[in-house]
Structure 1
Amino acid sequence: MSSESAPAARGSGFAYALAAYAAWGLFPIYWKQLGHVPALTVISHRVVWSFLFVAGLLTVGRRWREVKAALGSRRTLGALLVSTALISSNWFLFIWAVNTGHVTQASLGYYINPLLNVVLARVILGERLRRPQLVAVVLAATGVVSLAVSRGELPWVSLLLAATFGVYGLVRKMAPVEPLTGLAVETGLAAPVALVLVALAPAVPGATGGFGASMRDTLLLVGSGVATALPLLWFALGAKRLRYGTLGIIQYVAPTLQLALAVLVYGEPFTRPYAVAFACIWTAVLLYALDALWWSRPRPLPVHAARQGA
């Protein structure tokens, strides 16, 4: 873990994880400031400045050998190519959703995500589903189906956000690479394409704003690198210090903040179909939380049983 005592490590881990998920939950505020800039331009700058920021951290920490090792491993490089495509798609879709008034659907996607992770763990990793997890997945699916039927269309923004981030997390879990190193390789692989798109951005018909258009736009685009990398690093530090179940519950801070922003700040409608769907999802989340924090925890043996075992 670290040189910290166990209680201190848990405390700092909680603080890091909470900071990460709170930042992700408040991201719509940041991206809304760039709503007049095409989403593809924003994501391109996000990739470029994230890479430069992470490269600076690697240089300070003298960790470029890790990047070289990752690039030299065919298995690791293949996994990171896949994860690069997934996280780039996720970033683009989230920014597009925020700036086109779909923050409610985005928050629904991140409520679904951990429940989808349970399914992926069963299908890909062969992990068994406990009964509360199975019920939670069925409830979540019921919520999505009810929303699709009520609206006459699938909530594709929610499903794509959940799927891209869920599979991304699975790929990164299976890739033998540290978080900072992995992010450096991912943004480095995407950077050449992003640089081309940045260069072409001024020629996009009807595009307004962007790098150099104003000091405000420029600072926001440059700052997107720090805004991207810091929460990921906080998350990595928190994950090393906390139980997985605890981390799984803290992650609901992000979609809760996103939903609050969507309804209370940006005035997106919270209709009856959404209420039914979220009721199913929230019930599923409660089951997931109880299973992670309580039902699945090993129970201490009674005193007399412990003595007999001794």
Structure 2
Amino acid sequence: MNIDRKGILYAVAAYAIWGIFPLYWKLLAHVDSLEVLVSRVIWSFVFTYLFIIIIKQRQLLLEDLKLLWKDKKLFLSLLSASFVISCNWFLYIFAVNNNHVVDASLGYYINPLITVVFGMIFFKEKLSKLQISAVIVAFIGVLSLTIGYGEVPWIALLIAFSFASYSALKKQITLNATRGLVIETLFMLPVAIVYYIYIMSTNKATFLQLNWQTDLILVLGGIVTAIPLVLFANGAKLLPQYVIGFIQYMTPTIVLVLGIVLYKEPFTKTELISFMFIWLSILIFTFSTIFETKKRIQLQQKTVDLDL
């Protein structure tokens, strides 16, 4: 098996797991979304830290922490990323367990396009005319849904903007993905523990209070969080960015199918029209990305040929 195929397998596995996340979080529909979030933070830290020990990167993790302590800008960036991804996790869990799976799907469809806009605003990245067209078409899709609903699809937009913000913050952080997750969850760990102490002292906790099946699902939420991240980190190293960009649409597609087919959420003409605009924008964006990448490679090859 060559490197490219390995990369594709890693990436497809990661995005497929993220796509079927609703199946997992639905098992915790009887648990308050905030408790599911803090449980996910605690057990993600535990299992990713154990993984770091197993792969013998504990010393590298300590070096990362020392670097963060010295570099206040990096520290604040990772702290902000930790807060933003926690918000994203909460929104996704809340959406799944409150019958907004289709909204969650919409959020992750438009997220890459918002990420591109953030790149233009915060990192002075230039967009091609096709990419600008894709963003405009996506905006029309969200606008049509807003008009059809009579209200702004807040859940979808907050999911998209929170993950795009996380991506923008992480762009400035050069830490290893797995060790980065350990540190991100470490930042939120004190808040999560304090919250758990509070809900346990007020008899509002579900963990250790209901049944062993619920306890096990809450605990394994840490592993479920860590596995696709590790797979994605491996895939991202082996594949061009445009391939990753194309594969990532597996996740919202799987989520959308689950929302409509399995959970019987409404998908009326209003949603169909909006999603058609979103899908069109994705096609334009994907074509533009592939075209720009090939154009850049050809230009680099010409430069090498001239140097020779």
Q: Say whether the fold is shared (TM-score over 0.5).
A: yes
CA pair 295-128 structure 1, distance change in 2 beyond 3 A: closer
Counterpart pick for 2:21 among 18, 21, 27:
27
Residue of structure 1 equivalent to 2:280: 283
Q: Are the equivalent residues in 2 in contact too, given 1:112–1:162 (CA < 8 A)?
A: yes
Residue of structure 1 equivalent to 2:158: 160
Unaligned runs of 5+ in 1: 1-6
Q: Distance in 2 between matches of 1:201 and 1:28?
A: 25
Q: Distance in 2 between matches of 1:269 and 1:142?
A: 21
Once the two structures are TM-superposed, the CA of residue 208 in structure 1 deviates from its matched residue by 7.4
Q: Are the equivalent residues in 1 in contact too, given 2:10–2:234 (CA < 8 A)?
A: yes
SS of equivalent residue, structure 2 residue 28: coil
Residue of structure 2 equivalent to 1:230: 227
Q: What are the within-5 Å matches in structure 2 for residues 5-84 of structure 1?
A: 8-71=2-65, 72=69, 73-84=71-82
- Offset from partner CA, 1:218-277 (integer Å, 9 cap, x none): 110010000001111111100000000000000000000000000000000001221111
CA pair 254-211 structure 1, distance change in 2 beyond 3 A: farther
Q: Are the equivalent residues in 2 in contact too, given 1:122–1:129 (CA < 8 A)?
A: yes
Once the two structures are TM-superposed, the CA of residue 110 in structure 1 deviates from its matched residue by 0.2
Residue of structure 1 equivalent to 2:107: 109
CA pair 308-19 structure 1, distance change in 2 beyond 3 A: closer
Residue of structure 2 equivalent to 1:118: 116
Q: TM-score normalized by structure 1?
A: 0.91
Q: Which amino acid aligns with 1:51?
A: F
Q: Distance in 1 between matches of 2:87 and 2:298?
A: 45
Instruction: Determine what percentage of the aligned residue pairs are the same residue.
Output: 37
Once the two structures are TM-superposed, the CA of residue 61 in structure 1 deviates from its matched residue by 2.5
Matched, 1:196 2:190: no
Once the two structures are TM-superposed, the CA of residue 69 in structure 1 deviates from its matched residue by 3.1
Once the two structures are TM-superposed, the CA of residue 146 in structure 1 deviates from its matched residue by 1.1
Counterpart pick for 2:97 among 85, 96, 99:
99
- Offset from partner CA, 1:23-42 (integer Å, 9 cap, x none): 01100000000000000100
Q: Distance in 1 between matches of 2:202 and 2:267?
A: 35
Once the two structures are TM-superposed, the CA of residue 151 in structure 1 deviates from its matched residue by 1.0
Unaligned runs of 5+ in 2: none
SS of equivalent residue, structure 1 residue 225: helix
- Offset from partner CA, 1:152-187 (integer Å, 9 cap, x none): 111010110000101101111111211111101000
Once the two structures are TM-superposed, the CA of residue 201 in structure 1 deviates from its matched residue by 2.8
Once the two structures are TM-superposed, the CA of residue 200 in structure 1 deviates from its matched residue by 2.6
Over the aligned positions, Cα root-mean-square deviation in angstroms equals 2.0
Q: Distance in 2 between matches of 1:199 and 1:49?
A: 15
Once the two structures are TM-superposed, the CA of residue 197 in structure 1 deviates from its matched residue by 1.8
Q: Which amino acid aligns with 1:286?
A: L
Once the two structures are TM-superposed, the CA of residue 212 in structure 1 deviates from its matched residue by 4.4
Q: Which amino acid aligns with 2:51?
A: L
Q: Which amino acid aligns with 1:25?
A: G
Once the two structures are TM-superposed, the CA of residue 203 in structure 1 deviates from its matched residue by 5.2
Q: TM-score normalized by structure 2?
A: 0.92
Residue of structure 2 equivalent to 1:179: 177
Q: Are the equivalent residues in 1 in contact too, given 2:47–2:222 (CA < 8 A)?
A: yes
